[in-house]
C-alpha cells in the first residue's frame, strides 16, 4: 500500500468514526465512546494534514502550469517564487505526515500512574523522591491536568519513601512515559557539616492507566485484606479498618492503599493501580522486540537504568539518554520539563524515521 493509499484509508476511517458518534448505542456505551474518542483524536490531525497536502499539491500543479505558460520574464519570476514556496510547503507537510504515521503507541492518550520510590541514600533519597513528586505535580498544573495522590508513605522529616500519583489529562502518558527509570541527585545535604557532596537516587515507574475493559480481573484471583491505616512511625491514623491490600494471586502483584478514610475508595484506587500494573506486565511480555528497539533510541524506561542526574552544585540537569544538559535546575524541579520532553520526543522520532529509511 502506498503512502497516499494509506492516508486515504485513514481519512475514510475518520469519516466512519464521525458517523458512528451519531448512533444512539454509542452515546449509551461509555467504553465505546472513550475508544472512539481516542481514535478520533489520533486520526484528526493526520487527516487534516493530508487534506492540506492534497490542496497544496493541486495549487503547485496549477502554479507550475502558469509559470511555464507565460512568456513575460517578470511574471515567470513571480511564478517561480510561488512554485518554490509551494514546494517547500509540500515537503514540510510530507515530512510531518511521515512523523505522524510512525507506529502509534495506543496508550499515548491515556491517563497515567506514576510510582516514585526512594532508592539509595537513606533520608536524602526520600527527600529527593518528594522533590520528584512535586516536580510532576507542578508539571501537571502547568498543563491544566489533574494530579491525585493514590497513596504516600512519608518519613518524619518531610521525605517520601513511596508515593503513587495519578495524572488525568489529554496526552499525559505520551509525555510522562519517558520518565521511567533511575533519577540521581548530587548535592550537599543540609545535615552534612563537612560540605561533602552526596549522591542519592529515586526510581520512577510510569504506567498507562487501564480501563476495566482493557484488563479483565477475576474476583476469585484476588485476596483482599483490610486493616487500620498507619502513619510515620507506625502510629494509627484511623480508627476503622479502611486500609486495603489487594494481592493478585496469579501474578503475585500486591497493591496497598490507605490514604482515604473510606474502605470503598481505597479499594477503587488499589484496583486502578493493579489494572495499570497488569497492563504493563502484559505489554512487557508482548513487546520484547519493541522494548529492545526503544533501548537503542532514548532508553527503555527500565527502573534499573539511570536516565537523569540533577546536579545542584553545578545547577545542571543531565539526561543521559540523549546527552542533553540543561542549566536552571530549580526551574526543572518546578515542573519546567517541556524542553526535555520535546528533545526526547524528537530523538525518538528521528531514530524511528531513520530505521524506516534503512528498510528496503
Are residues 186 and 91 located together in one domain of the fold?
Answer: no
Residue 191: burial class (beta carbons within 10 Å; 0-12, 13-18, 19+): exposed
Are residues 213 and 128 located together in one domain of the fold?
Answer: yes
Are residues 118 and 51 located together in one domain of the fold?
Answer: no
Q: Cα 23 from chain centroid?
A: 32
Q: How far apart are CA 282 and CA 174, in angstroms?
A: 19
User: Are residues 313 and 197 in contact, defined by beta-carbon separation less than 8 angstroms?
Assistant: yes
Q: Is 105 domain-assigned?
A: no
Are residues 42 and 130 located together in one domain of the fold?
Answer: no
**Last residue of some domain: 100, 129, 152?**
100
Band of residue 139 on the pLDDT scale cut at 50, 70, 90: very high
What CATH number did the domain enclosing 285 receive? 3.30.70.1660
Q: Is 337 domain-assigned?
A: yes
Q: Is 289 domain-assigned?
A: yes
- pLDDT attached to residue 76: 86
User: Are residues 155 and 232 in contact, defined by beta-carbon separation less than 8 angstroms?
Assistant: yes
Question: 52: helix, coil or strand?
Answer: helix
Using CA of residue 100, residue 104, residue 110, residue 115, what is the dihedral sign? negative
Q: Is the pLDDT confidence value at 284 over 60?
A: yes
- Per-chain mean pLDDT for the chain: 85
More confident residue, 261 or 13: 13
Q: How far apart are CA 244 and CA 253, in angstroms?
A: 14
Q: Is 330 domain-assigned?
A: yes
Q: How far apart are CA 250 and CA 321, in angstroms?
A: 35
Q: How far apart are CA 301 and CA 182, in angstroms?
A: 8
Most confident by average pLDDT, 28-32, 233-237, 255-259? 255-259
Are residues 209 and 93 located together in one domain of the fold?
Answer: no
Could you give the number of structural domains in the chain? 2
What CATH number did the domain enclosing 22 receive? 1.20.58
Q: Is the pLDDT confidence value at 293 over 60?
A: no
Are residues 80 and 121 located together in one domain of the fold?
Answer: no
Q: Is 245 domain-assigned?
A: yes
**Last residue of some domain: 43, 74, 100?**
100
pTM given for the model: 0.71
Q: Is 359 domain-assigned?
A: no
- pLDDT attached to residue 6: 86
Which among 334, 298, 333, 328 is positioned nearest to 315, based on CA atoms?
328
- pLDDT attached to residue 82: 94
3-state SS, one letter per residue, for 3-34: HHHHHHHHHHHHHHHHHHCCCHHHHCCHHHHH
Q: Is 130 domain-assigned?
A: yes
Using CA of residue 145, residue 148, residue 152, residue 157, what is the dihedral sign? positive
Band of residue 236 on the pLDDT scale cut at 50, 70, 90: very low
pLDDT digits (tens, 9 = 90+) for 173-225: 999 999 999 999 999 987 676 778 999 999 999 998 887 667 888 889 999 98
- pLDDT attached to residue 258: 86
pLDDT digits (tens, 9 = 90+) for 171-186: 899 999 999 999 999 9
Band of residue 326 on the pLDDT scale cut at 50, 70, 90: very high
- pLDDT attached to residue 209: 86
Are residues 308 and 242 located together in one domain of the fold?
Answer: yes
What is the extent of the structural domain holding 145? 112-349
Are residues 130 and 166 located together in one domain of the fold?
Answer: yes
Q: Is 14 domain-assigned?
A: yes
Q: Is the pLDDT confidence value at 232 over 90?
A: no
Q: How far apart are CA 270 and CA 140, in angstroms?
A: 22
- pLDDT attached to residue 358: 55
Amino acid at each position: 500500500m502506498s503512502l497516499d493509499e494509506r492516508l486515504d484509508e485513514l481519512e475514510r476511517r475518520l469519516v466512519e468514526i464521525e458517523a458512528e458518534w451519531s448512533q444512539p448505542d454509542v452515546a449509551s456505551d461509555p467504553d465505546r465512546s472513550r475508544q472512539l474518542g481516542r481514535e478520533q483524536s489520533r486520526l484528526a490531525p493526520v487527516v487534516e494534514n493530508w487534506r492540506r497536502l492534497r490542496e497544496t499539491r493541486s495549487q503547485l500543479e496549477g502554479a507550475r502550469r502558469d509559470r511555464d505558460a507565460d512568456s513575460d520574464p517578470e511574471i515567470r519570476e513571480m511564478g517561480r517564487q510561488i512554485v518554490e514556496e509551494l514546494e517547500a510547503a509540500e515537503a514540510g507537510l510530507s515530512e510531518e505526515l511521515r512523523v505522524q504515521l510512525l507506529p502509534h503507541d495506543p496508550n499515548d492518550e491515556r491517563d497515567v500512574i506514576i510510582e516514585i520510590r526512594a532508592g539509595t541514600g537513606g533520608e536524602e533519597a526520600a527527600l529527593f523522591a518528594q522533590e520528584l513528586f512535586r516536580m510532576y505535580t507542578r508539571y501537571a498544573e502547568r498543563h491544566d491536568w489533574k494530579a491525585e495522590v493514590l497513596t504516600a508513605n512519608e518519613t518524619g522529616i518531610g521525605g517520601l519513601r513511596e508515593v503513587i500519583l495519578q495524572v488525568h489529562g489529554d496526552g499525559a502518558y505520551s509525555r510522562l512515559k519517558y520518565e521511567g527509570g533511575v533519577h540521581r541527585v548530587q548535592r550537599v545535604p543540609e545535615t552534612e557539616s563537612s560540605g561533602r557532596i552526596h549522591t542519592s537516587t529515586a526510581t520512577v515507574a510510569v504506567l498507562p492507566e487501564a480501563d476495566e475493559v482493557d484488563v479483565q480481573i477475576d474476583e476469585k484471583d484476588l485476596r483482599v485484606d483490610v486493616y487500620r491505616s498507619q502513619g510515620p512511625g507506625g502510629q494509627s491514623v484511623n480508627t476503622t479498618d479502611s486500609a486495603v491490600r489487594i494481592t493478585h494471586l496469579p501474578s503475585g502483584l500486591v497493591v496497598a492503599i490507605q490514604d482515604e478514610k473510606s474502605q470503598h475508595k481505597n479499594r477503587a484506587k488499589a484496583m486502578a493501580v493493579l489494572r495499570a500494573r497488569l497492563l504493563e506486565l502484559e505489554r512487557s511480555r508482548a513487546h520484547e522486540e519493541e522494548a529492545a528497539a526503544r533501548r537503542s533510541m532514548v532508553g527503555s524506561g527500565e527502573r534499573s537504568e539511570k536516565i537523569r542526574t540533577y546536579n545542584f552544585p553545578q545547577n545542571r540537569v543531565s539526561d543521559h539518554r540523549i546527552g542533553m544538559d540543561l542549566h536552571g535546575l530549580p526551574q526543572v524541579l518546578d515542573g519546567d520539563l517541556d524542553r526535555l520532553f520535546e528533545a526526547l520526543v524528537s530523538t525518538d522520532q528521528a531514530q524511528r524515521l531513520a530505521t524506516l529509511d534503512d528498510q528496503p
